[in-house]
Structure 1
């Protein structure tokens, strides 16, 4: 079959368009071997004629720069079945431009949930008195010669409606909205129909419209100019019009709710939220007109079997789900009446608690999980569904089961402490074989993950059936003692730590203690690790929040001996050579610039009357009025170990040592430059102008400005293009690994290049009113958020609206006057329900694609439903590394679903904002 590709596109000088796809004629998906197109100046179109065999055609257009560098068009690969009697096929396509907001409507959030077809490919009711044209011909048949195939890519059609075509030709109803051509959704989000025009020798004008099958007529015809099917003189050719851009007046906007799964409370729970509770939250979302439910990470974090494991961003597997989310009764009833009675008693006891009491909850889960495993083992191993699950998920499931069982056998998740034969993975197939004598040690975890997966996918299917999107959370890092670190250490820098520079959450930075990524190694196989990880998340979610998306541009990296984040540096980066520093400052002295600046006046300022004692125990006199740490105490990790030993031997002085330790860390941080990995290269220390060392520099203000100039250039100018290229290299592998709607958490010290890269890749940004992206701005306005973004009132790392309202009365008053418009009025002492309502409405009215607010802030609008103590609503406190993640909704979701007096007014607010 001869195929003519045709595409209108205006290129710049030196650019060429090409068709690239499957098969040697189209370059086998290699841009350098793609088939070049020719340009028709009269028609203003690029075209290419090529002979292709029958079968599935898969292709994309690619723009080649003068130097051959390719730019692929956006969206998924184009597909078309080549079959039938026609020998010539004329394709009329349009370029899928990147950075176009409509591209995001083709993601799973819209195609699998919001506009999910009730029965894809089901027959569509024809107009009364008119025979409905059939759907596109099946493989092997193909459209007859001389026919026209109309195809429109448009996901934004309500599930109970369809699409049709009205036009001037009688075959298109001659503009009669009851005699139109009804399209099939068999290939949704592409709609299509095949038709034989009655007057093919004349130009036919047409438009698309919404088809209401129940009413039997078209409605809401698209705007803009008429589309044209030109007259043809080639009666034997099939013409395929792959149309784009259904012209709707307004951009789609939605609203959602954020609540961690562990924080959900239901009458059927066991002291913690479970995957089954997602159905209840989905029901509430439907009641209130919300279209999205957002959760925190749900991966297994069980490393120590203590409350420390409540931290959801330290997963021991990037695939496995957390045992706490398992609904035990969803597996099978306990056959032992005694065990069933104990479970019922524990359920009542743990559900009555105001918070998630992590250790007792997990102890109960493990106990009854083991009982259920033994009870159901025989049926489980014979279950065909389990066998399929094992076959599909085995590559990660077996390593996870082995790791978890060995963790419990050896009493630690730190595999470097395991016996020598297990520090690197042995033959995992043999280790976890069902015939092994100790199989039950491993089988428990196969059993666990099978049922977790089953229960979560059941909740996912339920949400999609009700038109609700589930949005997950992708942590930027992996846990140091995890399956991935054990099985694939080459992908990580295990001798480094990831974190974040100082921000509003923590003035000393954050140290997550995760290893950093070995990006060059990951690039060798096209970032397969990331693609597999994203593909697995697509099993459960339709949208995804990428935690700390800045990590794909550069990550804050600290050496293993750091506890706080101030001695870190961005990686990758372009450090300064000592000669460059010397040239710009006029001098370079390693001891003065790179070693801790410790003087007696500094000790007195930090330690007060304890200064002498601190000096005697921790420091030595280095001469000339300077001090240095004693041997073996020069790093924060060494100090941590030493002081923790003191606490163990002198517990009665624990308060003193807990006060002392961060002040000792401060001394270690007293440097102006941090040595890079390469000799004679250095990074300016973050916030160096806040150090005693900076204040102690000789010279006048002009000399200090030299340091400021280096600092500003280094952190805000030097790396912009370098980091932009880093993002454009790494992020596409994540962005295009699935059809998920991707949102990035782009808060903090954001390079200027980040918003442009995210826009180019169609990744939504995050806008929090209290954390504006514009420097010097105290509050941002939701009305100023771009369309491809998410606006929210609070995040899980922040206080909720009501709690924040009471933190700083001066700031609250400014916010009340300038953002809420209550000029010269005194702000109420507490964040009253009407104030919360004004803030919520302001966010709902934003032009951003999504307004996703924490459930706590929605409830703040109701004086009866909201929690009594606003301080108890905060989920995480980033400045406290020992924080216990225990937040739990204070009322059952069943009660929330039935709260008509709250739900109906909220639904009205959502509808009035034009969302949904």
Structure 2
């Protein structure tokens, strides 16, 4: 490599060596340098037999991807609906764009070149890991971005007027809205889920195992309209709705009352105080005395947000725009039933409908009927449908590669899920603070089944240290019920506590114990200087959360840390999970702490072929 490029790489490495990842600057720098290297070696690389083999085996996805990247940069947006005549994908347009006679062929070649080198690098890393007895575990996300090459090329496979999310839970009272379009499973089934099979086949080239993100989505998905910003007003797809005939037989007939936001003057005065008249004048119509409905131009969450932004720019009355927006959203969600947008005679119970004033103001008969139908809809009538849905789709994934499949099965778990996972031989996930058993506050690692992955945290929640420090009440209950101490727990998650929790997990019967690197680093006090809140990788409850976490310790320094390696080695070898190279006599862990000793974990194991794995997420 030329010296000038080597120098620029080293300069960029120093410049980008920040506390957090600057993705935009990093990507721009890498692409700039890659283009310079490409201009020097493109003829040699692109004419090599190795590249020709790669291109031949991958052109089905490689050509559309290169074209997508070119058009994205040319139009300066990944929103392919703004690409003019290229908005609608066609093979003819693609072939002309990637043709050797195309004016833009050089740019197309560059994207081929980048993917080729990424393939070589990942293949080399995977082979090196295998030779060292290390498993690479890939991730299969539940959705794809609505402005992606997949939705451009295979638009018929996605319900582009919808969004994927999750219903409300302990962590997100308004549910979650991830913004991905939901899958058109009916269309996917026509070619036996070829799109999925291709993805798994490609992953199988590099990984030995993979995680199926939100595996519940293969049973049913929480589907929201694309005009929603929060995650509450959704419905499960597929699901058996409440029919108009069914409701009428139970004496429910005023569907406008149940499906339209229930807004009364006293609600407005209570929520908005002195600004209620301003809010009413700009967002609501009074259709009868003290009864209001939303204006047409603010009848959805996205419309409300847009209009509120416009109003706020020209008014001094709106001091707390976020609060007013959230309160307006609450009014919009003050309903009992959701009418199916594709069939006006079908309805879905609004999640947590008993919490709404719309429900509370119903007569007793209507309340009793809606409560019964609500619990039937969410907890009984869908079980067989969801079971059959999963048994159609999941086996396709499992049979598409030789990788070991693990399912992320956290959240609101239907009764049919765990029996299906057991039937298919799928491994489930157990996070101690998010137990699958509804009657437990904390999972009991010693009681986990063998067909599970156990972990104290993962990339989708706060680290062990951050969780300990952010929730005082739960920390006390954990210290009492899990650690077994009536003493007041320390406010900081000390290394002894981390050691106790990790030991619980490595001694669990679970096939795999997987630990985020942040939790392993917390075994040693010198690595806990960074605020724990900065170690959380992803917050799925916050749609604006930006993944920027970067480990604050270099691998070179960790490789020299004999104390930490000894501590981890002893945890593994003492648990029965060690491979022969780790089967050394356990040494006393070197963890310094001025606090009283934490009681030792007492779980018994004996499950064969267990593995302990560190995860860098």
Is this a same-fold pair by TM over 0.5? Answer: yes
Task: Give distance in 2, aligned partners of 1:441 and 1:661.
Answer: 44
Q: Are the aligned partners of 2:87 and 2:152 in contact in 1 as well (CA < 8 Å)?
A: no
Q: Superposition pairs for residues 435-834 of structure 1, below 5 Å?
A: 435-584=101-250, 586-646=251-311, 649=313, 656-676=320-340, 677-699=342-364, 704-822=367-485, 824-834=486-496
Corresponding residue of 2:566: 904
Kindly indicate whether the alpha-carbon contact (under 8 Å) linking 1:867 and 1:873 is maintained by their aligned counterparts in 2: no
- Superposition deviation, residue 620 in structure 1: 1.1
User: 2:162, 2:226 within 8 Å by CA — same for their partners in 1?
Assistant: yes
- Contact in 2 for aligned 1:501/1:568 (Cα 8 Å): yes
Tell me if structure 1 keeps the 8 A contact 2:252–2:366. Answer: no
Residues 478-502 of structure 1, C-alpha deviations (whole Å, 9 max, x = no match): 2111111111111111122111111
Equivalent residues of 1:844, 1:910 under 8 A apart: yes
Give the whole-Å Cα distance in 1 for the aligned partners of 2:511 and 2:439: 26
Separation of aligned partners in 2, 1:624 and 1:706: 29
> Structure 1 residues 634 and 857 mapped into 2: Cα distance closer, same or farther (>3 Å)?
same
Contact 1:498 1:511 in 2 (8 A): yes
| 1:763 to 1:347, Cα distance in 2 relative to 1, 3 A | same
Secondary structure of 2:437's aligned partner: coil
Higher-helix-fraction structure = 2
The 8 Å contact of residues 602 and 692 in structure 1, kept in 2 or not, is answered as no
Shift in Å, 1:457? 0.7
1:377-411: CA deviation from partner (whole Å, max 9, x where unpaired) = 12122221111100000000000000110110011
Does structure 1 conserve the Cα–Cα contact (< 8 Å) formed by 2:75 and 2:83? yes
Kept in 2, the 8 Å contact 1:596–1:671? The answer is yes
Cα 1:651–1:535 change in 2 (3 A) is: farther
The alpha carbon displacement at 1:650 in A equals: 5.7
Kept in 2, the 8 Å contact 1:671–1:693? The answer is: yes
Displacement after TM superposition at 1:366 (Å): 1.9
Q: Which aligned pairs between 1:77-96 and structure 2 lie closer than 5 A?
A: none
User: Structure 1, residues 862-886: CA drift from partner, whole Å, max 9, x if none?
Assistant: 1112343111111112222111110
C-alpha separation in 2, matches of 1:631 and 1:520? 33
Distance apart, 1:528 and its partner CA: 1.5
Please say if residues 867 and 890 of structure 1, whose CA atoms lie closer than 8 Å, have aligned partners that are also in contact.
no
Deviation at 1:644, TM superposition (A): 3.9
Provide the TM-score with structure 2 as the length reference: 0.90
Give per-residue Cα distances to partners, 1:304-323, cap 9 Å, x unaligned.
xxxxxxxxxxxxxxxxxxxx
Instruction: Please give the per-residue CA displacement for 1:129-167, whole angstroms capped at 9, x wherever unaligned.
Output: xxxxxxxxxxxxxxxxxxxxxxxxxxxxxxxxxxxxxxx
Native 8 Å contact 1:619 1:628 kept in 2: yes
Cα distance in 2 for residues equivalent to 1:532 and 1:900 = 43
State the 1:655 CA deviation.
Answer: 6.7
Matched, 1:860 2:539: no
Q: Which residue pairs with 1:402 in the alignment?
A: 67
Counterpart for residue 144 of structure 1: none
Following superposition of structure 1 onto structure 2, how do residues 90-239 of structure 1 map, counting pairs within 5 Å?
none
Following TM superposition, by how much is the alpha carbon of 1:430 offset from its aligned partner in structure 2, in angstroms? 2.9
Check the 8 A contact 1:505/1:878 in 2, yes or no: no
1:362 to 8, 19, 27: 27
Aligned mates of 1:377, 1:844 — CA distance in 2: 49
Paired residue total: 576
Contact 2:453 2:511 in 1 (8 A): yes
State the Cα distance separating 1:423 from its structure 2 match: 2.9
- Residues 424 and 644 (structure 1 numbering): CA distance in 2 closer, same or farther, change over 3 Å? farther
SS of the aligned residue for 2:172 comes to coil
Give the TM-score normalised by structure 1. 0.61
- Quickly say closer, same or farther: Cα 1:356–1:650, change in 2 above 3 A: farther
Q: SS of 2:37's equivalent?
A: helix
Secondary structure in 2 aligned to 1:396?
Answer: helix
Whole-angstrom distance in 2 between the partners of 1:432 and 1:646: 47
Whole-angstrom distance in 2 between the partners of 1:651 and 1:900 = 62
State the alpha-carbon separation in 2 of the partners of residues 653 and 449 from structure 1: 53
Q: State how far apart, in whole Å, the 2-side matches of 1:869 and 1:909 are.
A: 26
Relative distance call for 1:900 and 1:655 in structure 2 (3 A) is farther
SS in 2 for 1:879: coil
8 Å Cα contact 1:496-1:557 kept in structure 2: yes
Report the Cα offset of residue 660 of structure 1: 2.2
> 2: distance between equivalents of 1:422 and 1:569?
30
- Where in structure 2 are the equivalents of 1:21-36 lying within 5 Å? none
SS at match of 2:160: strand
8 Å CA contact 2:430–2:452 kept in 1: the answer is yes
> 1:820/1:530 Cα in 2 relative to 1: closer, same or farther (>3 Å)?
same
Higher share of residues assigned strand: 1
Q: Which runs of 5+ in 1 are unaligned?
A: 1-332
**1:694 Cα shift?**
1.9
Partner Cα distance (1:421, 1:778) in 2: 52
Listed one character per residue, the Cα deviations across residues 99-119 of structure 1 (whole Å, up to 9, x for unaligned) are: xxxxxxxxxxxxxxxxxxxxx
SS in 1 for 2:484: coil
Deviations 1:713-751, CA, capped at 9 Å, x for gaps: 110011111111111111100111111100001111111
Per-residue CA distance 1:9-57 (angstroms, 9 max, x = gap)? xxxxxxxxxxxxxxxxxxxxxxxxxxxxxxxxxxxxxxxxxxxxxxxxx
SS in 2 for 1:693: helix
CA distance in 2, matches of 1:787, 1:686: 34
CA contact (8 A) 1:619 1:627 kept: yes
3-state SS of the aligned residue for 1:794?
A: coil
Label 1:384 to 1:666 Cα distance change in 2 as closer, same or farther (>3 A).
same
Q: Which residue of 1 aligns with 2:534?
A: 872
Matches within 5 A, 1:342-357: 342-351=8-17, 353-357=18-22
Describe how 1:354-393 pairs up with structure 2 within 5 A. Answer: 354-393=19-58
Specify the alignment match of 1:214 in structure 2.
Answer: none
Please give the per-residue CA displacement for 1:764-799, whole angstroms capped at 9, x wherever unaligned.
Answer: 001111111111321111112111011110121211
**For residues 518 and 899 of structure 1, what CA distance do their matches in structure 2 show?**
51
How far did residue 419 of structure 1 move? 1.6
Which structure has the greater CA radius of gyration? 1
1:679-723 CA-partner distances (Å, limit 9, x unpaired)? 311000111112221222234xx7634332221111001111111
Report what 2:504 is aligned to.
842
Change (3 A) 1:582 1:557: same
Q: Per-residue deviation at 1:476?
A: 1.0
Q: What is the root-mean-square deviation in Å for CA atoms of aligned residues?
A: 1.8
SS at match of 1:524: helix
